[in-house]
Copies of this chain bind each other. A is one copy, B any other.
Amino acid sequence: MTRVLYDLCGIDEGLRFSPYCWRVRYALAHKGLEVQTRPWHFTDKEALAFASHDKVPVLVDGDEVVTESYEILRYLDRAYPEAPLLGEGLAETRARFFKYYAERSLAPAMLRTIIMDLLNAIHPDDRAYFRETREKRFGRTLEEFHSPAKGLAQLDAALEPLRAQLTDSDFLDGDAPAGADYLVFGNFMWARCVSSADLVSNADPVHGWLERMLDQHGGLGRRALRVTDIEGAYR
């Protein structure tokens, strides 16, 4: 049986930057599960028709087809109970808060900082779609939305609870990473793959955590292709 993850790619098939797909790739590695990733890009909706879904990640695990990153983590905990990602009861309910913290606090701040880099990194066929959907969402042009100064200030404020947690322990989930770490770290992989922007100073406790996360699971994150690695791609 081949386990398959549909994974967002950009200007290069090897450039994988979806924060949601990164959550899943780390989660699979956490469980010790092999996966074959299949590159997909935004406008290739037909390729996902089998899943009745129009976004990645989509995980195909034997007969199971699972969509949405958080649901995939839950599925992995059910199907492979060892080494819990989210856990159960209070642990699981609290894990959801990390999902929302990543999506509602960190992501908007990061996006404001890296959106032009993101536009540059995505597949050329996707750019019109990306511009149209995002401009509709923001109510202004990408160029108007783009403001690294505002984004970084917003991010600096949003990182406060993360800093405190990472002063107490090496990982958000304690001595070793688990679901909370992956839910949040996905966003940093997103920024890392498409941009050279320095989001966190190296004196920040978050910086040490990012370095540790990049090294996890055989350097899964550190080995990932960045747009800056592709000749002529980073403008």
Contacts and interface: CB of A to CB of B under 8 A. Distances in A.
Contacts of A174: 90, 93
A189 to B, nearest CB: 20
- Which of A157, A163, A178, A180 has the most C-beta atoms of chain B within 10 angstroms of its own C-beta? A157
B100 A97 contact: no
A165 B90 CA distance: 13
- Which of A93, A164, A173, A178 has the most C-beta atoms of chain B within 10 angstroms of its own C-beta? A93
Contacts of A90: 84, 87, 91, 94-95, 173-174, 178-180
Given A94-B94, A94-B180, A161 B89 contact: no
Given A87-B90, A87-B91, A94-B91, A100 B161 contact: yes
Nearest to A171: B93
Contact of A105 (B93, B98, B160, B179): B160
**A contacts with B: majority SS:** helix
Nearest to A174: B93
Interface in A71-95: 84, 87, 89-91, 93-95
Interface in A200-222: none
Contacts of A157: 105, 154, 157-158
A141 interface: no
A152 to B, nearest CB: 14
Contacts of A160: 100, 104-105
A96 interface: yes
Contacts of A87: 89-91
The 7 closest A-B pairs by CB, nearest first: A104-B160, A94-B94, A100-B164, A100-B161, A90-B91, A91-B91, A101-B161
22 contacts: A87-B89, A87-B90, A87-B91, A90-B95, A90-B174, A90-B178, A90-B179, A93-B173, A94-B94, A94-B95, A94-B97, A94-B173, A94-B180, A97-B172, A100-B161, A103-B164, A105-B158, A105-B160, A154-B157, A157-B157, A157-B158, A158-B158
